Amino acid sequence: MSALLAFLIFVGILAGFGAFLIILSSSLGPRPKPNPAKNMPYESGVAGTETAESRVSVKFYLTAILFIIFDIEIIFMYPWALSFMDFVKSGQGMYILGAMGIFIFLFVVGLIWEVKSKALDWNR
């Protein structure tokens, strides 16, 4: 509870400090008249045609989706890693190894399928 309170206070300090810096730097600088050419999105000198709303490669979405699946699988390994030695010490090392072996087998099958399906082939 006390750690959480300290954490929240720290978030407040950081956000306040960041906002203070942004406000300070944007109030100290010179403010010349707005210039339409200058305010345009940067496009190496020519008038821009594409904006941030233009379409992006589907690969990025695929990467994000695959990341969620694999990240959750990795998160499942954390409690296993934490209780591993307790099982080994009580003589059940083979049980915990086999139980996780099945899980890691599924993980590997998923990884192989993902590589075979060329979902992450950025050259295509």
Residues 101-120 that bind another protein (CB under 8 A): 104, 107-108, 111, 114-115, 120
**Contacts of another protein in 13-32 (CB under 8 A):** 13-15, 17-19, 21-22, 24-32
Mark 56-75 with x for binding to another protein (rule: CB under 8 A) and - for no binding.
x--xx--xx--x--xx--xx
The amino acid present at 93, given as its one-letter code, is G
CB 51 within 8 A of CB 41: yes
Single-letter code of the amino acid located at 45:
G
Q: Which two tokens stand for residue 10?
A: 């720290």
Any idea which residue has 């008249």 for tokens?
33
When binding is defined by CB under 8 A, the residue of 90, 94, 113, 118 that contacts another protein is 94
